[in-house]
Structure 1
């Protein structure tokens, strides 16, 4: 900063030229550090459960669609959405003892480990450290096993049952585990394929992983993965399986009288509430992004105690607005309430 004029940072090309002007050994060292930092970031995201692989191609020994269920048909184009149950069979290729010992010989920092509780063997190998939120560095190690890998912080590893072992015991336990590994492992997963945009808001919002598969019959499919525990919830959100049927007029009467509450798709709930000494039909569970769309359907908004609330008007137009709302957000449950609620 000279004479009140602050120098601008040099452009990226200048930094690149400076990097390329370094000795090859120095460049290799910088790129190695960068790769370690990138690997640590990826491993941290995987461990935290928020790593997004994007479009993931699933490869397996066998992929078969065992069930195909139509859950939505577009009223104009006739395009359909399907929930697919996919059976997958993967060949297990364990790391043999000969290859494991070769890794040990090639890595001077490797350590032979045995779990004193489970009688399993592992090879301790160095791996990238992690920068924690408080700025401290967590030094970690990688445990290589016959069919998987584990990563531990050094402090966390000391609290486990993994202990250094002699070569003979390590070899016995490693070979015993390799021998016991089955040739294949079967599994089942669920995906929603076909026309997705009209029903996207009714799908679970915490898992947006997209799979690309090719079945044994040669069919190629791209669809969104659905966790097995959320399939039933998704079907209810789509108006399928154990969904109550209730005419809008009857639903409106029950709401006005405070006898029932309505559970709608996307986590919305309609109920009678006492607001400012008056009974109102209130909608709860909405997000900020939903507000313009819900107001366009006829709901009215009010700020009460510095909080935005949405209500269905209780006048003559209330029943019609409720019918429009139920058409847009599927009814997934009816709860009985006391008249005083």
Structure 2
């Protein structure tokens, strides 16, 4: 390559050629290329997810419903064999899975529409389906079609959905896109966002949300100020090709968009991108936690499944003069069946013998909990806030190191921990939890501005007998103010 200076004074490079126009090649570069090609050819082949599953469990156990007409399989002698697949192979594979001949089924877009893989009561194989969402793709409608193949009517049991990712943080880029598009699809087709995503994703999974965009802007500010640990400003600009510092020495006004930033992060070394993502997600989760604690986190319609509910009072707040539609304030008593986390599942998910876990008991309440390290939050000033996940039989949440130090949690020996955990599980499973709440229902748009602006929670109360109520929750202390605001006497 020959180096020259353009009209703006910037150093540029272009291919070098001799006086006859033939390219001038660098012998050392050619030798390095040949060595790299030889090294790449010597590496073992990396199987795709589909081929890896078939190789691991065998063609006798895996039903493949894809558009492939040929595939490489490993024969009994250990050698690879090229196998042809006819257009009717998918029909036979589906039948083998539904009959229970094959326990595993892998399907792609070719098998994602017009077929059923659910635990059909009319099929021999009525085992509960565990649906691993491995490569959802970019199309939200196709992802919804795929999710619907294992969750249909007349089924023995509902499936368990398991989105799958690796520990490479940059992969969150792809999860983020499909999560956002599923939300958009749900809003268009059903009038509420989370119906598109089937509640598979957390608000933190959408890296293109308002919280994520605010966090990225602050991340750039911390990067420019040199307060990040994962990377410096000069190294980030060198590796990513993104410009953060302007010619005047200040931060540029037109910072990269979050989509462009995410794409560039994917090209960085895995250790570096993991470090950058940890700090970025610390900023995102700090904002989401703050919104959740303030009651302003918008998660769409939240379904509250109850055994039954009783309407204690029904207050008519407003009647529309034109349509006659009414607005009501209901006082409800709901009874929910508690679903505690069993001790066996706790050990499966977290383990109890590791050095990172702490077995705790609250000296004040007597309740039990498992403390597990979690991702640290990052303040807007660049300070790390150490945080833990506190897992309890009936709920789990997060607690900072300072909050833990000021609390009544204390360590307990494993034998006592198991006994107390099992006691809480048995107690929770033996009775229903009853609570009261106020729900504004009916025609809410005319009175929306009178509802508490700092507590926006839309809920669907769904009872086991099929009854349901949809409305917006109203905290008890806001009820008198609401009634006064709509001129109720």
What is the TM-score normalised by the length of structure 1? 0.58
Cα-to-partner distance string for 1:245-296 (whole Å, 9 max, x where unaligned): xxxxxxxxxxxxxxxxxxxxxxxxxxxxxxxxxxxxxxxxxxxxxxxxxxxx
Q: For 1:176 and 1:11, how far apart are their aligned partners in 2?
A: 51
RMSD: 3.5
Q: Is the 8 A contact 1:88 1:187 kept in 2?
A: yes
Q: For 1:163 and 1:53, how far apart are their aligned partners in 2?
A: 34
Task: Choose the corresponding residue for 1:193, options 422, 437, 441.
Answer: 441
1:109 paired with 2:377, answer: no
**What residue number does 2:451 align with?**
203
Cα-to-partner distance string for 1:45-88 (whole Å, 9 max, x where unaligned): 32344323233232223344444332211222222112223332
The alpha carbon displacement at 1:109 in A equals 0.9
Give 5+ residue unaligned stretches, structure 2: 1-7, 11-245
Say if 1:238 and 1:50 are closer, same or farther in 2 by CA, change over 3 A: closer
Count residues with an aligned counterpart: 241
1:78 paired with 2:324, answer: yes
**What residue number does 1:39 align with?**
285
The structure that is helix-richer by fraction is: 2
The alpha carbon displacement at 1:41 in A equals 3.1
Q: Is the 8 A contact 2:306 2:464 kept in 1?
A: no
**What residue number does 1:180 align with?**
427
Task: Choose the corresponding residue for 1:54, options 300, 320, 328.
Answer: 300
**What residue number does 2:137 align with?**
none
Specify the SS of the correspondent of 2:477: helix
The alpha carbon displacement at 1:98 in A equals 2.9
Q: Is the 8 A contact 1:192 1:225 kept in 2?
A: yes
Q: For 2:372 and 2:276, how far apart are their aligned partners in 1?
A: 22
**What residue number does 1:126 align with?**
373
Q: Is the 8 A contact 1:86 1:188 kept in 2?
A: yes
1:157 paired with 2:157, answer: no
The structure that is strand-richer by fraction is: 1
Give 5+ residue unaligned stretches, structure 1: 242-341
Q: For 2:319 and 2:484, how far apart are their aligned partners in 1?
A: 16
Task: Choose the corresponding residue for 2:476, options 206, 228, 246.
Answer: 228
Task: Choose the corresponding residue for 1:169, options 416, 426, 429.
Answer: 416
What is the 5 A alignment of 1:88-99? 88-99=334-345
Q: Is the 8 A contact 1:107 1:125 kept in 2?
A: no
Specify the SS of the correspondent of 1:104: coil
Specify the SS of the correspondent of 1:112: strand
Q: For 2:467 and 2:9, how far apart are their aligned partners in 1?
A: 67
Q: Is the 8 A contact 2:442 2:471 kept in 1?
A: yes
Say if 1:112 and 1:208 are closer, same or farther in 2 by CA, change over 3 A: closer
**What residue number does 1:143 align with?**
390
